Structure 1
Amino acid sequence: MTDRWAELVSAALVGTDRRPYDGDLLGDAAVEVVRLRAGQVAPGAAAGRPTVAPAPAEEREAVGRAAAARLARILGGEHPRVLPEWLAAAAATGRRVPPQVLPELLDKGARDRSIRPQLGVLAGRRGRWLAALNPSWSYLLEEPTGEIWELGSQGDRRAYLADLRGKDPEAARRLLEEAWEKETPDDRARLLPLLDEGLSMADEPFLESALDDRRREVRQAAADLLTRLPESRLAGRMADRAARCLRVEGATIVVEPPAACDRSMERDGIRARPPRGTGERAWWLQQVVSRAPLRMWSTALLRTKIPDWAREVRSGWVRAAVLQRDPVWARALFACDPLADLLAVLPPVDQDEVAADFVRRHGVDGQMIMVLGGAATPWRQGLAQAVLSKIRQVAVTQPWNLSELSAMAGERIDPSLHFLAEGVEGVPGLLRFRADMMKELR
């Protein structure tokens, strides 16, 4: 406590009648509070030494003036929901953001993990310098910077392995195998899912061995990848288990869930402990069905009666279609139960067709919004026209029910199709905003 603060406190406690004070007591106290909070002497400053190394010089060029100005407008509240699209497009150019927006963007990244990979590129060297000084921003230090496998951060190594996997799947797997025993459990859990790109039976021996890893997340990732390989040993074991659980008798499917979850099932990715509110046998059944090769069944079974355990079996088939990325099953299941996860399994052109048909037949509600959230962006002309027609139709009868659908249309339709939205309130302007945004970044 300084002498100045002690004087102010004393005058305030006993009153200025008893201890006269020459000046504005409350005003001076407010100034002193700020000074005490902000005016701390940094360690080493008294000795004349710099306490923090200066930020390193940038290596990458910043985005252009027009792009930077639009980013400032977005951060200032103009169409804030397009920020992830701006960041993704800007990161693809390999440029960085201007330094004055870094604190706000790093704060947003602390709350929203989805934009962190883009910030790893866009923040530049100054962003990493700031992240090293502020624990709330330290997440940035794990995002890719462009360094190589041996010297890079965790994010760099993930990016390097992902890039190599896309070019040479065999070399990427060998690189991971060679480093596997030296990796931390956290790094193994982050790196193994990258083998999803270019996955083949050549990866099966390595993935089978990963089922014995001590880390549960590693075992789960290995099991998910092996589930996508119908010729894998895991798929064969799951097929045997599923065959014991489901059998067709006449016009019905008879279901007998597993009686127990043994260690071999847990090794193959079956989690023994069910979520709260779910019975153990129901949970085990759903997981067995989800990891069994879908080719052992026909989609015609979706029309077959299941007297008992129907919900668990169908939930397992949905999960199987997503895990195995089976477009035939995804399309058949979507016809029974429209889910965004199933839509995302389909190729983009098929997504457009299926989602457009759903929009034409379905009313505007929460389910429509969720389904459209699974459609690949930007929306092509077919889906764009279906959504815009729905907006025009409902604007006459239920205008209060359109805010989210209109917002999604403006944010997700290919901005080059802005002419289709003429006359739809709020949509054409946002489409033109996005079109200009992309032009500036190019």
Structure 2
Amino acid sequence: METDTTIPTAGAPLTEDGVRDDHARGTEGGEDGVWEELVTSALLGTDRRVPARLAGLPGTDLPGALLDAAALHTVRRRAGLRPGPAAPPPEPAPEDHRLPLPGAARRRLDQLLAGRTAPSPAGRRGAAPDLTELLPQWLALANERGYQAPAAALPALLDAARARTDLRPQALRLAGPRGLWLARLNPEWRFALRGAGAGSSLPDPGDQDGVRALWDEGLFAERVALLGAVRTEDPAAGLALLASTWSAERAEDRLMFLDSLRTGLSGTDEEFLEEALGDRSRNVRATAAELLSALPASALAGRMAGRAVTCVGLDRTAESPTITVEAPHECDSAMQRDGLAATPPAGRGERSWWLGQLVEAAPLSCWPPRFGGRAPEEIVALPVADDWQAELHAAWCRAAVRQRDAAWSRALLGSPATPPATGPGTSSLAERAQLLSTLPPEERACWVGSFIAAHGLSEAFQLLGVCEVPWAEPLGGAVIDALDIAREAGSYPWSFSGVMGLAERCLAPEAARQLESLTARPEEAEDISPGAGGYWSEAFQRLVSTLRLREAMRAELTAPAR
């Protein structure tokens, strides 16, 4: 930028305010030199450094004269700027034809984005709901009902999505095409143009020309999103799209594209995946083998079954039927091509490592014939010789999860009342949670509710995480009863903070009525932890108010728009 004025220097005529004016004579050092001189004097003090333009001025108020000179200099710089060329205006924002939010829901969104909560004493959470934790649920409900975000809320919505990656898919879906348009104008929101955000501007899967153009010319994230969208709509078309450029893709891109085939995976993908077993990338080969093993009728599953049944069988010479195991003695090239990793992780024996991979990849349907027609529950109940039970059952657990086999999952889970350490399949809570995910939602909730009733909440957190929201009965009642028992036992509520947080988000809002009686502060007995009753009362008050707020949110999102 250029200026049409200069700043006074020493020796120039004085203006009415006592500052020398050399506008007509020019300034030594230029405008930057003037400003640096004033700044230096301000930093060091006018008693140590007097600007040349102020030297010899009448009076002694040098600090005031310095400020006057700085103010005059600032005004002149601003007034003397020549306007630059006008930037082209941005393209108009696209139309969003979804429903506008009802008035109450708009106000609720503003409140949730602001994250306003009542201050809590002594740093505790207090009895007020945590609004930031309710925002994901609100976004999901608004998207289910097909609403659009108000234009005024888009900046705050994009800021929230930038700060929390867990919010991004739902936040960007609500923001819609206008959110993407706005994100292009601010570098801090560029994340919206990648990954899930790119999916909002994808062509319709039925638009063959648009799909082809984006697949050939789009960014990698756009292509991944496009392939996922096409696979969801038409798995065969998605496979054909991937196959058309497969040989030209980079190895890391092939891995991501191949992972998209999990959507709509079927026997029609087998030929392509078999070819991918020969890929030059080890990770691509391993993923292709995993996908093929999830197809029990695939040729790879048959090869794995043939290997696995030679390693695991029934010892008919024992006094009672017993499973005997003979782990592989080598991992040959054919096994490695079918996805087995030859080198075990540190601390793991080679033979047990190879056995686990074989059993995991073998179709579960191969085991009943191998064990005389026994059902999964009967097979899992059989004793296993030579301490191979843990390894064998863990591999069956992974196979049940990979093949989404509910019958084997039930067998490996066993009765929820059985102590975890003595159960039929696994005592690992992580594996139990994965097995539960293969069951229907109602059965899952029933199993976890019975587990909590039998064993309490201390080991139930991971299991609760795989249950459908809101929690169906009897699960919700079991959680409330277990929290009440913990309160009566005199423990502090923060010992169950994880479960309480889940309950705030996952209990059905109708459970607030059942919790009402627990919000009162009980009389504390001498044998319980000091102050525990008050803390529990506060925690239950927060839980009740959160459930009621969720109920209000749901009602606001079903009200007619105004």
CA distance in 1, matches of 2:135, 2:65: 47
- Shift in Å, 1:192: 4.0
In structure 2, the residue matched to 1:32 is none
Aligned to 1:238: 304
Cα deviation digits, residues 32-91 of structure 1 (max 9, x gap): xxxxxxx9xxxxx96323177366244244433322322232233343222222222222
**TM-score scaled by structure 1?**
0.82
Among residues 380, 387, 408, which one is paired with 2:502 in the alignment? 408
Matches within 5 A, 1:222-371: 222-249=288-315, 250=318, 251-297=321-367, 298-303=376-381, 304-335=383-414, 336=423, 337=427, 338=429, 339-365=432-458, 367-371=459-463
> Partner of 2:313: helix, strand, or coil?
strand
Greater Rg by CA: 2
1:406 deviation in Å? 2.6
Deviation track 1:159-217 (CA, whole Å, cap 9, x = no partner) reads: 5324414xxx5455445545655666555544444444544323322332333344555
Identify if the C-alpha distance between structure 1 residues 422 and 226 changes in structure 2 by more than 3 Å, giving closer, same or farther.
farther
Query: Which range moved further: 299-308 or 319-328?
Result: 299-308
How far is the alpha carbon of 1:370 from its aligned partner?
1.0
Rounded Cα–Cα distance in structure 1 between residues aligned with 2:133 and 2:266: 38
* Aligned pairs for 1:20-31 within 5 A: 20=50, 22=63
Could you tell me how far apart the structure 1 residues matched to 2:516 and 2:265 are? 45
Please point out which of 464, 467, 479 is paired with 1:372. 464
1:66 counterpart = 2:104: yes
Any conservation in 2 of the 1:318–1:342 contact (CA below 8 Å)? yes
- Equivalent residue for 2:48? 18
> Which secondary structure does the structure 1 equivalent of 2:202 belong to?
coil
SS of 1:402 mapped into structure 2: helix
Q: Secondary structure at the match of 2:392?
A: helix
Task: Note if contact 1:64-1:440 (Cα within 8 Å) is conserved in structure 2.
Answer: yes
Aligned length: 424
Query: Alignment identity in percent?
Result: 38
Per the TM alignment, residue 106 of structure 1 is displaced from its structure 2 partner at its CA by 3.6
* 279-288 vs 349-358, greater mean Cα deviation: 279-288
Alignment partner of 2:314: what SS?
strand
Please provide the CA RMSD for this pair: 3.5
Q: Do the aligned partners of residues 276 and 430 (structure 1) sit closer, same or farther apart at CA in structure 2, a change above 3 Å counting?
A: farther
Unaligned runs of 5+ in 2: 1-30, 51-61, 71-77, 116-129, 206-210, 215-221, 368-375, 415-422, 519-539
Asked if the contact 2:138–2:553 (Cα under 8 Å) also holds between the matched residues in 1, the reply is: yes
Distance 1:49 1:72 in 2: 35
Deviates more, 1:78-87 or 1:256-265: 256-265
Q: Does 1:145 align with 2:175?
A: no
What secondary structure sits across from 1:10 in the alignment?
A: helix
Code of the residue aligned with 2:135 in structure 1: it is L
Measured after TM superposition, the shift of residue 301 of structure 1 is 3.6
The structural deviation recorded for 1:374 is 1.3
Tell me the distance in 2 between the aligned counterparts of 1:57 and 1:4: 49
- Extract unaligned runs of 5+ from structure 1: 30-38, 40-44
Partner of 1:437: 553
The answer to whether the Cα contact below 8 Å between 2:312 and 2:326 also exists between their aligned partners in 1 is: yes
How far apart are residue 24 of structure 1 and its match?
A: 11
- Closer, same or farther in 2 for the Cα pair 1:292/1:23, shift >3 Å? farther
Q: Which residue is 1:386 aligned to?
A: 478
Say whether the 8 Å CA contact 1:289–1:320 is kept in structure 2: yes
Q: Considering Cα pairs closer than 8 Å and 6+ residues apart, tell me whether 1 or 2 has the greater RCO.
A: 2
| Alpha-carbon distance change, 154 to 116 in structure 1, aligned in 2, over 3 angstroms | farther
CA distance in 1, matches of 2:410, 2:555: 36
Q: Which is richer in helix?
A: 1
CA distance in 2 between counterparts of 1:104 and 1:4 reads 42
Q: Cα 1:257–1:23, aligned 2, differ >3 Å: closer, same or farther? A: farther
TM-score computed with the length of structure 2 as normaliser: 0.66
Following superposition, the deviation at residue 223 of structure 1 comes to 2.6
Matches of 1:119 and 1:187, distance apart in 2: 27
Q: Pick from 71, 87, 93 the counterpart of residue 50 of structure 1.
A: 87
For residues 220 and 135 of structure 1, what CA distance do their matches in structure 2 show? 38
